Chain A
């Protein structure tokens, strides 16, 4: 039996292929990026140690503060997604002819990929696009609006796109949650005189608590990492007056457009700290949630 053998290579051999890849492409880069963040580095020439200079520059960089602000604003997609997806889940959670078809249709944006979908949106929002065409036809606007050239709209449009792409996915998660809630709870609420909407308020929402926590965690972490939507909608420029620049977009610009790998690494460290704080807050919320349930 296994226990007799005091030392065996077997488990390490099983782990080896995966660990080699993870060490080279994940663990080493994490260590390297910490070091780079303290250097002046342009990738083509070797890094030069500059201490905390990159961080000091960041503190005095108005675009970086703008990026931080935009990334925090972007977190508003999380409550929007939760609200919309729960409503959608409640609507599709019934046995009606054709309901599976609708669930499928709602899921299509999830699998289509943000690049193709982003380009489609960009074309629709073009000054000569279908959105302006529809709005002018129904008389809501007289002249076409330059949706993508207006700094005030950039971030909002990207957030709408993120929400549109994600809502079918989160709907499915909430739907699975709803189907786990015992029917008796709804019957009891009905006996207590609740109407259809009150039933959902007192039974569905508390019953969906684990899913709400889960969706909060993953959608807020995803919101902090947004890049593709911004890249496509602003044509890789970040929007007029940096209106669409988020932390990850700014990291990308510093590293791969301006060749400031050291500065970009410092931004990466800030992003890491924000992500860690978020994860801790989210995990705390999750723990207190389960305690309250027990």
Chain B
């Protein structure tokens, strides 16, 4: 193409292309402003001092003399470090155990013949359409009367240690592995647990990553159930703590902004580091 630089037709096409691209970039920037602006605004607000107005006509976006006072205020009035620690403990425990239990359960469902397999599979499938909020009432009763873990971190960990979506996604991954691979290992004398651990798990690593990322985002951002369970501030996760902060700082927009930034930043950093895996993982569950 570039050999015909002087031809009018090419210049016309090039101009057209340039025009198209400019239009696309204008659209892209417009959408980016819509998706990113709230974050930028909260970010700048969180560094505003008392002399920088939250509300003015015309609006003032940037702080005139940035200060970290708002963050210090949040840290002194609320146990932010506990929030982080609790969120981390809950999220990591659930990600590891949920993936492990799911991978264990998915193997026989995909690759073994046994009594009750279809019954178990279809029961799990049927529960998938049940709205999660439906189970919150009996789960609340269980937490208070039976397990006595109300207001303890255990209450927001145990219910999530296994999930139907994880089992389904991993079952699909196991099903794609050829039977011959498993049979060959059996002939070599490997037991089922060895086969599962050293042959099957490495082959389904991408699916394990997908499941781990879905669970990670779900748990980190989980609010409904934790808000029912956790009431002592020191026991709260970040999301529940942020709502407590919002109540405690009712007339302090700068402080709330600092809390929002502190809640969102870990996830955005994590996302920035693992963008490809995040997007592939969260949208990859679709293909089933």
Contacts and interface: CB of A to CB of B under 8 A. Distances in A.
B38 A271 contact: no
B268 A21 contact: no
Interface stretch (B1-9, B65-73, B74-82, B102-110): B102-110
Interface string B19-48: 001001101100110111011011001000
B242 A116 contact: yes
Interface stretch (A58-66, A118-126, A145-153): A118-126
A113 B263 contact: yes
A52 interface: no
B271 A228 contact: no
B141 A113 contact: no
A99 B256 CA distance: 33
Interface of A: 1-2, 7-8, 10-12, 14-15, 17-22, 24-30, 32-33, 36, 43, 88, 91-92, 94, 96, 99, 102-117, 119-121, 123-124, 126, 128-130, 132-134, 136-137, 164, 167-169, 172-173, 176, 211, 214, 221, 224-225, 227-228, 232, 248, 251-252, 255-256, 261, 264-265, 268, 271-272, 275-276, 279
A123 B257 contact: yes
Given A119-B242, A275-B129, A133 B221 contact: no
Contacts of B271: 107-108, 111
A176 B34 CA distance: 23
B108 A172 contact: no
A104 B275 contact: yes
Given A102-B32, A108-B268, A17 B27 contact: no
Contacts of A251: 133
Query: 9 shortest A-B CB distances, which residue pairs?
Result: A11-B108, A113-B221, A32-B138, A29-B135, A29-B138, A18-B105, A128-B55, A21-B162, A133-B59
Contacts of B34: 164
A17 B105 contact: yes
B83 interface: no
Given A30-B134, A214-B286, A111 B243 contact: no
Interface in B189-247: 192, 196, 217, 220-221, 223-224, 228, 239, 242-243, 246
Contacts of A124: 38, 41
A94 B23 CA distance: 13
B105 A26 contact: no
B257 A15 contact: no
Given A11-B117, A124-B38, A43 B133 contact: no
A28 B24 contact: no
Contacts of A109: 35
B172 interface: no
B161 A248 contact: no
Contact of A30 (B54, B135, B186): B135
A113 B257 contact: no
Given A2-B186, A113-B220, A33 B35 contact: no
B130 interface: yes
A88 B28 CA distance: 9
B56 interface: yes
Contacts of B45: 123
B56 A36 contact: no
B57 A136 contact: yes
A228 B279 contact: no
Given A11-B108, A104-B272, A252-B224, 10 more contacts: A14-B108, A15-B105, A17-B105, A25-B142, A36-B137, A112-B264, A113-B221, A167-B35, A172-B282, A224-B131
B35 A105 contact: yes
B175 to A, nearest CB: 15
Interface in B138-188: 138-142, 144, 158-159, 161-162, 164, 167, 183, 186-187
B42 to A, nearest CB: 5
B134 A120 contact: no
Q: Give the size range of B's interface with the partner.
A: 35 or more
| Majority secondary structure of chain A interface residues (helix, strand, loop or mixed) | helix
A228 B132 CA distance: 13
B260 interface: yes
Given A112-B267, A134-B59, A252-B133, A228 B224 contact: yes
Nearest to B267: A111
Contacts of A112: 39, 221, 264, 267-268
A19 B192 CA distance: 19
A105 B32 contact: yes
Contacts of A15: 104-105, 108-109, 120
Given A15-B105, A21-B158, A115-B242, A26 B59 contact: no
Contacts of B122: none
A111 B278 contact: yes
Nearest to A249: B133
A96 to B, nearest CB: 6
Contacts of B144: 43
Contacts of A27: 123, 127
Residue from A2, A21, A27, A248 having most chain B Cβ neighbours under 10 A:
A21
6 contacts: A17-B162, A29-B138, A115-B221, A164-B35, A255-B137, A275-B130
Residue from A115, A265, A276 having most chain B Cβ neighbours under 10 A:
A115
Given A96-B21, A96-B24, A176 B127 contact: no
Contact of B112 (A10, A92, A224): A10
